[in-house]
Amino acid sequence: MIEIQNLTKRYDGNTVVDDVSLTVETGQIAALVGTSGSGKTTLLRMINRLVEPSAGRVLIDGQDTAAIAPYLLRRRIGYAIQGHGLFPHRTVAQNIATVPRLLNWPEAEIRARVDELLAMFQLDPTQFRDRMPHELSGGQQQRVGVARALAARPELLLMDEPFGALDPVIRAKAQEDLRALQRRLGTTLVIVTHDMEEAVALGDRIAVMDKGRLLQYAPPAEILTRPATPFVQELIGTGERPFRLLSLSRVADLVQPGEAPGAPISAEASLRDALADCLWTGRDRLPVDGGGVVTLAALRERAAGADIGSAARASAGSPAR
Amino acid sequence: MIARLLLGLAVLFLLAFLISPDSFAGLFQPLTKNNAPAIYTQTSLLSLTLSHLGLVALAVAASTLVAVALGVLVTRPAGREFLPLARTVTSVGQTFPPVAVLALAVPMMGFGAGPTLVALFLYGLLPIFENTLTGLTNQRPEVTEAARAMGMTPRQRLWQVELPLAMPLILAGVRLSAVISLATATIGSTVAAKTLGEVIIAGLLSSNTAFVVQGGLVVGLLAILIYEGFQALEGRLSRRIGLAQG
Ligand SMILES: Nc1ncnc2c1ncn2[C@@H]1O[C@H](COP(=O)(O)OP(=O)(O)OP(=O)(O)O)[C@@H](O)[C@H]1O
Ligand SMILES: [Mg+2]
């Protein structure tokens, strides 16, 4: 669990992070969104003390990070950035092995871990292990960067626009993989992104920042249905809102008894996909794999914020100050 | 490809000439007058070359050690204030004429290799220092940032990231120093250091152009070979880290 308490950063009189407090529960994903220059990166870098706060503190599992030597703290926290920052003079395997090596893992264990991570990121170990970073595509470099951040099995992972350089298809896949991975490992994740879509897809909670201040910190459904300020509303993009809402839930959540003709849809598909299917094939109800139907009427209701709004209200812990 | 061939030929020619200078007497005969000897034989050319190279290597090694250490020092937070001082010292080392250094050092150290070593050492500091400085300060920020974020200590960052990445530039500095020192070392013979300058000076004193040319030729060839050797090494390192193409 990360507790950020009244964290502030000033650069000669300019307050770039202004009294931000938020808590990320163990195993949850917090997505930081906001316009350029709103202080997202600065906030993130104060967690592993790449930037020293001007005021406030950060607790990790109850321990004040100010009391831990920065280099020891950072070995416990995975860090992945846009542009990946791979060491150009080291092979892919050596890059991934950086933190395990600093922690003096046995050589055999390091090798096994490197291969495991390469395989996990769909990079064939025999083919990629000994390549230099400049011999990889941008997307591959990015994945190696994330693999390096995960190498020592950190309980906490910080990511700063890790998928910025990827094309939309690979990006969606990378997000899906990251989400699955994070669920499997139970890692606590703080991810910075420019992209509301990405924040909605990944975040258990979304923190919206503007000019250094935290405007709202809440689950995606609540951000979408009850934006705290006009700025948040603008950031969500009202035109996209119903679709983003639908993308939050699976078909399985909305399935009702009944039967319908035509090709079935997977219960794991998002409601957004179900809506698209309805519109495209001109049907007003779709059969669901494993029984039941999902109806256009129910989709419309959900897209207008019914249900979710109240559910979100109930599940929201502490809304923004 | 052609450049390689020429370099290979240069090596062969140099080796053959040093091992058996007399076989090349015919080549140098036209440069002599009054039946003077065409080949310098007072001391063997091979031993002069080796001691010349030894002197240069020693001096460049010392400059490298000191200049890189200085470069590292002034790029650490604790040593930043010494940057102007280090710049001054190395620039003065370069601008103060080596001949003057010799003249000043002889009374203190006596004749022989000592004064020459000092002169070459001082003369060679600047290029290595400046290149080390550039190499250590112009690194991609996201790479240095990653090194910090991974939890490397300052020392680990220096040895594992900063120095390896600065290496091509540092080597370029060493190359410059080595080539300058190779030529400058010839003046050491005026204070009785064993260098190829001995051949050139003998030629000057006896008006024997053949001696001057063969001394100069050996020094020149050595300089070219060392220059090329270093450059190949730098190129290899740069390519490995994706800095240069080809
Ligand atoms: N070292 C620094 N010195 C002075 N000002 C800084 C420094 N680092 C960041 N800032 C300023 O702090 C503000 C917030 O920067 P930050 O990098 O946190 O923004 P961001 O939200 O990550 O933006 P982006 O989305 O463009 O990455 C900016 O106005 C920036 O100019
Ligand atoms: Mg940023």
Q: What is the pLDDT of residues B16-60, one digit of tens each?
A: 888 888 888 888 888 888 777 878 888 888 888 999 999 999 999
CA gap A140, A157 in Å, rounded: 19
CA gap B230, B226 in Å, rounded: 6
Q: Which residues in chain B are closer than 8 Å to A83, comparing Cβ atoms?
A: 142
Q: Does residue B118 fall inside a structural domain?
A: yes
Judge whether B54 is closer than 8 Å to chain A, CB to CB: no
Q: Are A132 and B148 inside 8 Å of each other by CB?
A: no
Q: Does residue B115 fall inside a structural domain?
A: yes
Q: Which of residues 58-117 of A touch B (CB under 8 A)?
A: 70-76, 79, 81, 83-89, 98-99, 102
**Domain residues for B84?**
42-240
pLDDT band at A307 (very low <50, low <70, confident <90, very high): low
What is the residue type of A75?
A: R
Q: Does residue B219 fall inside a structural domain?
A: yes
Angle between helix A271-281 and A296-303 (nearest 10): 130
- Nearest residue to A40 via CA among A191, A147, A252: A191
Is the pTM higher than 0.90? The answer reads no
Query: How many domains in chain B?
Result: 1
Longest dimension (CA), chain B: 75
Q: Are B153 and A73 inside 8 Å of each other by CB?
A: no
pLDDT band at B175 (very low <50, low <70, confident <90, very high): very high
B202-240: pLDDT as tens digits: 888 888 888 888 889 899 999 999 999 999 999 888 888
Q: Are B143 and A88 inside 8 Å of each other by CB?
A: yes
Residue A204 phi, psi dihedral angles, 5° rounding: -75, -35
Helix (H, G, I), strand (E, B) or coil at B114: helix
User: Residue A313: pLDDT above 70?
Assistant: no
Query: Is the model more confident about A103 or about B106?
Result: A103
Mean pLDDT of B134-163: 93
CA gap A266, A284 in Å, rounded: 16
Q: Does residue B193 fall inside a structural domain?
A: yes
pLDDT band at A178 (very low <50, low <70, confident <90, very high): confident
Q: The CATH number of the domain where B176 resides is what?
A: 1.10.3720.10
Q: Does residue B114 fall inside a structural domain?
A: yes
Least Cα separation, residue A173 to chain B (angstroms):
25
Q: Does residue B29 fall inside a structural domain?
A: no
ipTM, 2 dp: 0.81
- How many inter-chain contacts (A to B, CB under 8 Å) are there? 66
Helix (H, G, I), strand (E, B) or coil at A9: strand
Q: Does residue B48 fall inside a structural domain?
A: yes
Q: Does residue B33 fall inside a structural domain?
A: no
Query: Comparing A185-194, A245-254, B49-58, which segment has the lowest mean pLDDT?
Result: A245-254
Mean pLDDT of A233-239: 81
User: Residue A308: pLDDT above 70?
Assistant: no
Query: Which of A79, A87, A141 has the most B C-beta neighbours within 10 Å, making it the best mutation to test the interface with B?
Result: A87
CB B229 within 8 A of CB B11: no
